[in-house]
């Protein structure tokens, strides 16, 4: 549920964040403002669709909204990545029969019921005998019987219809492709020039893909790796370490892996990302039926709830808000589901049972103590001051039951932290010393409705200020009116 503090600034009464994709259904300033007011914390620009002009216009609307509300808004550019697709058919679509032979080759001649073009020599180079190819999100399954540098002979195992430009997945095969196409590089340069806060990297297969993107981004945005290729799971720890955040993109994972493997893998990714202190988004088809329906299925509501119970930093809407008929309603329902789960005593039991292992540092010790102290004294919030965001990330990893008020003098940091569990990021003037921080924290908490007069705050900081990760002070402060 969205609430408004006495200063008129919007804040959330839940800790889990909501990411929503902008598109034709949500292009106007009025609808974008309604999405924000209803509960969106991070806005996603999907570069698989739309022009640079479209994305630039939406980002300008968001920055104007940010200035009007006084609350940092995070914007994510989601890069398309390589899209492996068959070419076209002379009749637009063909009928297939299980057991028949079907050829894939490099010819761009329109296909028929016996063959079609596949303009990706990288696939042919990587195929091995008996490899499986999945077309149209797995609706058509082919088993390879022979291949060369420019063709693959296959047998249709299942599926009866195939049409133009359907996608191709090759399970269990590491494809010799960069995660960044030429289009992605142009989109990335544009997005960085526009000042996006997060860049989501698609088609991550190995740590080298993350390193390549990080070099191009050069610190101008935070990097989020999308885990949608099973090959990435073999390098999960390295990819998490090299990334600023993770997205569990269950669409392609669900195509290339058995459906029964995806839920356990989702839990593993969430657990390991939290252990590393990296925010993680659960995405894909969360409220898919709401593209055309004003309410979700019970299974979809349960799916969102499960991600919240698992401790996700954020849950994401894609087509539901980009092209759906009920974008605001989808955000509202997702908000209500998250609030309901977080009010369940079982949710707190789960969060408390899964505290990550602490490093033997003063910073980790104080951050863990802050969560415990906040619980014991029933504090209204935990307050941190951060420049890089590392102090806030450490606090969020503990999954406290109260909000984390993250004060920072860097607007870029404030925006990026909007993705992180429980964080209300506030852009404020630089703070000279700890005494000033305490005064500012109590004033902001009171003005924004985070705390009432007479409540207490648990405040952590690193002294001297300006040293990332140097958390070494914990203090309890009373909230008093000026």
- Look at residue 174 and tell me if it is in a domain: no
The pLDDT value recorded for residue 469 is 61
Which tens digits make up the pLDDT trace of 265-294? 999 999 999 999 999 999 999 999 999 999
Q: Using the 3D structure, point to which of 169, 191, 218 is the last residue of a domain.
A: 169
**Among all residues, which ones are annotated catalytic?**
44, 85, 226, 284
The pLDDT value recorded for residue 364 is 86
Q: Can you tell me the mean pLDDT for 19-41?
A: 97
Q: Are residues 424 and 389 part of one domain?
A: yes
Q: Are residues 325 and 240 part of one domain?
A: yes
Q: Can you tell me the mean pLDDT for 238-257?
A: 92
User: Regarding predicted confidence, which is higher, 467 or 289?
Assistant: 289
Q: Using the 3D structure, point to which of 140, 169, 198 is the last residue of a domain.
A: 169
Which tens digits make up the pLDDT trace of 115-135? 999 999 999 999 988 999 999
Q: Are residues 442 and 332 part of one domain?
A: no
- Look at residue 354 and tell me if it is in a domain: no
Q: Are residues 421 and 309 part of one domain?
A: no
The pLDDT value recorded for residue 398 is 94
Q: Using the 3D structure, point to which of 169, 191, 225 is the last residue of a domain.
A: 169
What's 112's domain CATH number?
A: 2.40.33.10
98 falls in which pLDDT band (50, 70, 90)?
very high
Please count the structural domains in the chain: 3
User: What value does the mean pLDDT of the chain take?
Assistant: 93
Q: Can you tell me the mean pLDDT for 184-205?
A: 97
Q: Are residues 386 and 319 part of one domain?
A: no
The pLDDT value recorded for residue 461 is 83
Q: Are residues 105 and 68 part of one domain?
A: no
1 falls in which pLDDT band (50, 70, 90)?
low
471 has a pLDDT exceeding 90: no
User: Regarding predicted confidence, which is higher, 388 or 77?
Assistant: 77
The pLDDT value recorded for residue 7 is 37
The pLDDT value recorded for residue 220 is 98
Q: What is the β-pairing status of strands 245-249 and 381-385?
A: unpaired
Nearest CA-CA partner of 208 in 159, 244, 255, 243: 243
- Look at residue 352 and tell me if it is in a domain: no
The pLDDT value recorded for residue 354 is 80
Q: Are residues 262 and 156 part of one domain?
A: no
5 falls in which pLDDT band (50, 70, 90)?
very low
470 has a pLDDT exceeding 90: no
Q: Are residues 99 and 62 part of one domain?
A: no
User: Regarding predicted confidence, which is higher, 84 or 480?
Assistant: 84
User: Regarding predicted confidence, which is higher, 445 or 2?
Assistant: 445
Q: Can you tell me the mean pLDDT for 49-67?
A: 97
156 falls in which pLDDT band (50, 70, 90)?
very high
> Domain span at residue 463?
362-478
467 falls in which pLDDT band (50, 70, 90)?
low
8 falls in which pLDDT band (50, 70, 90)?
very low
- Look at residue 224 and tell me if it is in a domain: yes
Nearest CA-CA partner of 161 in 105, 208, 66, 91: 91
Q: Are residues 215 and 125 part of one domain?
A: no
- Look at residue 379 and tell me if it is in a domain: yes
pTM for the predicted model, two decimal places? 0.93
- Look at residue 357 and tell me if it is in a domain: no
Q: Are residues 392 and 304 part of one domain?
A: no
- Per mean pLDDT, which range of 6-10, 31-35, 146-150, 429-433 is the poorest? 6-10
The pLDDT value recorded for residue 6 is 37
Q: Can you tell me the mean pLDDT for 145-152?
A: 94
The pLDDT value recorded for residue 479 is 92
359 falls in which pLDDT band (50, 70, 90)?
confident
- Look at residue 389 and tell me if it is in a domain: yes
What's 191's domain CATH number?
A: 3.20.20.60
d(CA 80, CA 4): 36
462 has a pLDDT exceeding 80: no
d(CA 86, CA 93): 11
Phi, psi of 323 (to 5 degrees): -130, 0
Q: Are residues 114 and 44 part of one domain?
A: no
Q: Can you tell me the mean pLDDT for 349-374?
A: 87
Q: Are residues 247 and 155 part of one domain?
A: no
61 has a pLDDT exceeding 90: yes
- Look at residue 66 and tell me if it is in a domain: yes
């Amino acid at each position: 549920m969205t609430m408004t503090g006495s200063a008129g600034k919007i804040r959330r009464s839940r800790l889990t964040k909501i990411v929503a994709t902008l598109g034709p259904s949500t292009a106007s300033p009025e609808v974008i403002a309604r999405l924000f007011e209803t509960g969106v914390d991070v806005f996603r620009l999907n570069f698989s669709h739309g022009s640079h002009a479209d994305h630039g216009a939406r980002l300008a609307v968001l920055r104007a909204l940010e200035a009007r509300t006084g609350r940092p808004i995070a914007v994510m550019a989601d890069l398309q990545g390589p899209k492996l697709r068959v070419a076209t058919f002379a009749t637009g679509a063909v009928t297939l029969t299980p057991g028949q032979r079907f050829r894939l080759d490099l010819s761009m001649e329109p296909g028929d019921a016996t063959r079609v073009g596949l303009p990706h020599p990288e696939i042919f180079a990587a195929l091995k005998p008996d490899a499986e190819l999945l077309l149209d999100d797995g609706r058509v399954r082919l088993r390879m019987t022979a291949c060369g540098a420019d063709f693959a002979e296959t047998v249709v195992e299942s599926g009866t219809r195939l049409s133009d430009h359907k996608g191709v997945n090759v399970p269990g095969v590491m494809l010799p492709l960069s995660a960044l196409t030429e289009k992605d590089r142009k989109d990335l340069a544009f997005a960085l020039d526009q000042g996006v806060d997060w860049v989501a990297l698609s088609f991550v297969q190995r740590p080298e893909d993350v390193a390549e993107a990080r070099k191009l981004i050069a610190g101008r945005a935070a990097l989020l790796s999308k885990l949608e290729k099973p090959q990435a799971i073999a390098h999960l720890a390295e990819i998490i370490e090299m990334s600023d955040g993770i997205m569990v993109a269950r669409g392609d994972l669900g195509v290339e892996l058995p459906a029964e493997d995806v839920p356990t893998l989702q839990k593993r990714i969430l657990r390991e990302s939290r252990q590393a202190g990296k925010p993680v988004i659960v995405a894909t088809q969360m409220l898919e039926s709401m593209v055309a329906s004003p309410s979700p299925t019970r299974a979809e509501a349960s799916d969102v709830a499960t991600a919240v119970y698992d401790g996700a930093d954020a849950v994401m809407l894609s087509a539901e808000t980009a092209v759906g008929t009920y974008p605001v309603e989808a955000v509202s329902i997702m908000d209500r589901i998250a609030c309901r789960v977080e009010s369940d005593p079982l949710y707190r039991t789960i969060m408390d049972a899964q505290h990550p292992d602490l490093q033997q540092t003063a910073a980790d010790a104080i951050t863990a103590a802050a969560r415990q102290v906040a619980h014991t004294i029933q504090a209204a919030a935990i307050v941190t001051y951060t420049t890089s965001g590392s102090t806030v990330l450490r606090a969020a990893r503990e999954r406290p039951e109260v909000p984390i008020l993250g004060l920072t003098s860097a607007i870029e940091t404030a925006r990026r932290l909007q993705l992180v569990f429980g964080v209300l990021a506030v852009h404020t003037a630089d703070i000279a010393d700890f005494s000033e921080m305490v005064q500012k924290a109590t004033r902001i908490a009171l003005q924004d409705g985070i705390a009432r007069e007479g409540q207490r705050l648990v405040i952590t900081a690193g002294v001297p200020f300006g040293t990332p990760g140097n958390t070494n002070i914990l203090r309890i402060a009373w909230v008093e009116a000026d």
